[in-house]
Amino acid sequence: MRRIAGIVLAVVLIGGVVAAVVAGRDNGDQGTATKTVRAVIGSEKADFFADPEVVDALAAEGYTVRTETSGSWAMEGLDLAGFDFAFPSSQAPADELAAKLGVRKPLPRPFYSPLVVVAHHNAAAVLDRNGLADVESGLGRGVLRMEAFLEAARDDRTWQELKGAERHGELSGTLYVSTTDPVTSNSGALYLAAASYVGNGFKVVATDADIERTAPLLGRLVRVQGAQQPSSDSAFTDFVSGAGRPLVLVYESQVAALLTADGAGGTDDLTVLYPDTTVNSDHTVVPLTEDGRTVGRLLSTDPELRELAVRHGFRPERGTAEFTAATRHHTDHLNQRLDGIGQAPVPTSEVLHEMARRARGQGDSTR
């Protein structure tokens, strides 16, 4: 099964890897010589590495980072010769990639971000009225009640069946959270991890029996969506522009970055729903060279780079106070301390791959 998945990923990536996002400027502009390192990263970090202040901070330490973007799970299918580090969006694909390439541990984990669901106010209010969410009065945040929501998904419930939805013409069709493709993208895969944990009686999926038990639910969550976005970045951009679905799974970092941006727009009709059982996305560096390991260490420890990561919405490792201070003006939307939010354990990479394949309707395979 793993070999087949690798072949599929390779074919997808030949046509699908985004052209280089250059996070570096001409060395003459820096006034100091820098060593160029190459990285493949999740798309949600492209803006961070392209930020001129991040470029300058890395240059001050002697590095220029040039990046290409890829789905986190798809990185395993890339030819990484010539790259200095890979930077997937969670620990599971990072661990798998490190094992495949014989990379020594520990792997740097500079920052993390919980998964959240963004909703327009009307959609959030309807979920709240029907017991599928708890929206805090007068605020743009709340909690998505995962057990209730997944039960609605099992029943193929539609928006039209929910009380209050009849007043909002944009709320129609089957009720679901729009996600990225779980076979290649981290956020989509982690949504399945959280959903399968809840659907399996709050036990991590670990056996063939567990996979069989949760497969019908996960299939409903994915296949109802039809074509899925390749990255959370494009899904969030569509949502903010008004072109996206009523409920979209994104990283909290994307919301926090939007809120803290100068003159940020697109937040007047934004409600952030934190699933009461979610998964933190641990952005983890897989060093392929010593220079790559050094950059990973700098991202974890350099005070300026940590501050810039927070500005882009990420939560630095052991950085609750930093994140809380930076987002103190945005508590209407952000649950800074993740109060009342549970964390689902993530299945092994092999199990998560199989669950994603099943959910996409790709059939059983011998593991």
Q: Is the pLDDT of residue 94 over 80?
A: yes
Per-residue pLDDT averaged across 239-256, rounded?
91
Q: Is the pLDDT of residue 123 over 80?
A: yes
Look at residue 231 in the predicted model and tell me its pLDDT: 81
For the ranges 1-15, 88-102, 267-281, 308-322, the lowest mean pLDDT is seen at: 1-15
Which two tokens mark 28?
């003459």
Q: Is the pLDDT of residue 206 over 80?
A: yes
Q: Is the pLDDT of residue 346 over 50?
A: yes
Burial of 26 (0-12, 13-18, 19+ CB in 10 A): exposed
Q: Is the pLDDT of residue 16 over 60?
A: no
Kindly state whether residues 274 and 287 are assigned to the same domain.
no
Kindly state whether residues 91 and 157 are assigned to the same domain.
no
Per-residue pLDDT averaged across 118-139, rounded?
96
For residue 309, what are the CA distances in angstroms to 18, 61, 258, 316, 355?
22, 16, 13, 7, 32
Select the highest-mean-pLDDT range: 119-128, 236-245, 352-361: 119-128
335 domain residue, yes or no: no
Measure the CA–CA gap between 92 and 200, rounded to whole angstroms. 20
241 domain residue, yes or no: yes
Look at residue 234 in the predicted model and tell me its pLDDT: 86
Band (230; pLDDT cuts 50, 70, 90): confident
Kindly state whether residues 173 and 287 are assigned to the same domain.
no
Kindly state whether residues 289 and 275 are assigned to the same domain.
no
Look at residue 18 in the predicted model and tell me its pLDDT: 37
Look at residue 176 in the predicted model and tell me its pLDDT: 96
Residues in the chain: 367
In the chain, pLDDT over 90 holds for what percent of residues?
A: 73
Kindly state whether residues 82 and 167 are assigned to the same domain.
no
CA–centroid distance for 8 within its chain: 22
Residues 257-310 have pLDDT tens digits of: 999 885 555 678 999 999 999 999 999 999 999 999 999 999 999 999 999 999
Total structural domains within the chain: 2
Kindly state whether residues 268 and 139 are assigned to the same domain.
yes
Look at residue 243 in the predicted model and tell me its pLDDT: 79
73 domain residue, yes or no: yes
Per-residue pLDDT averaged across 312-333, rounded?
92
pTM: 0.86
Cβ 185 vs Cβ 232: under 8 Å: yes
Look at residue 2 in the predicted model and tell me its pLDDT: 40
Band (233; pLDDT cuts 50, 70, 90): confident
Enclosing domain of residue 177: 114-279+342-359
364 domain residue, yes or no: no
Look at residue 364 in the predicted model and tell me its pLDDT: 58
Kindly state whether residues 243 and 274 are assigned to the same domain.
yes
Per-residue pLDDT averaged across 76-96, rounded?
93
Band (5; pLDDT cuts 50, 70, 90): very low
Which two tokens mark 13?
């990536």
Band (19; pLDDT cuts 50, 70, 90): very low
174 domain residue, yes or no: yes
Look at residue 32 in the predicted model and tell me its pLDDT: 61
Query: How many CA atoms does the CB half-sphere of 365 hold within 13 Å?
Result: 18
198 or 233, which is more confident?
198
Tell me the average pLDDT of the chain.
88
* Residue position matching structure tokens 């800074």: 336
Please choose, from the candidates 248, 222, 35, the residue with its C-alpha nearest in 3D space to the C-alpha of residue 123.
Answer: 248
CATH number for 104: 3.40.190.10
Measure the CA–CA gap between 7 and 5, rounded to whole angstroms. 5
Kindly state whether residues 324 and 182 are assigned to the same domain.
no
Look at residue 351 in the predicted model and tell me its pLDDT: 94
337 domain residue, yes or no: no
CA–centroid distance for 304 within its chain: 24
Going by DSSP bridges, is the β-strand pair 277-278/342-343 parallel, antiparallel, or unpaired? parallel
13 or 158, which is more confident?
158
Kindly state whether residues 21 and 162 are assigned to the same domain.
no
Look at residue 265 in the predicted model and tell me its pLDDT: 57
Greatest CA span in the chain, whole angstroms? Answer: 63
Kindly state whether residues 325 and 222 are assigned to the same domain.
no
Look at residue 266 in the predicted model and tell me its pLDDT: 60
For residue 37, count other CB atoms closer than 10 A to its CB: 21
Per-residue pLDDT averaged across 71-83, rounded?
92
Please choose, from the candidates 55, 138, 346, 116, the residue with its C-alpha nearest in 3D space to the C-alpha of residue 252.
Answer: 116
Q: Is the pLDDT of residue 191 over 90?
A: yes
Kindly state whether residues 154 and 224 are assigned to the same domain.
yes
Which two tokens mark 1?
């099964």
Per-residue pLDDT averaged across 187-214, rounded?
96
366 domain residue, yes or no: no
365 domain residue, yes or no: no
Q: Is the pLDDT of residue 178 over 50?
A: yes
Coil vs helix vs strand at 85: strand
Instruction: Respond yes or no on whether the N-terminal peptide bond of residue 52 is cis (omega within 30° of 0).
Output: no
For the ranges 46-50, 210-214, 228-232, the lowest mean pLDDT is seen at: 228-232
Kindly state whether residues 195 and 290 are assigned to the same domain.
no
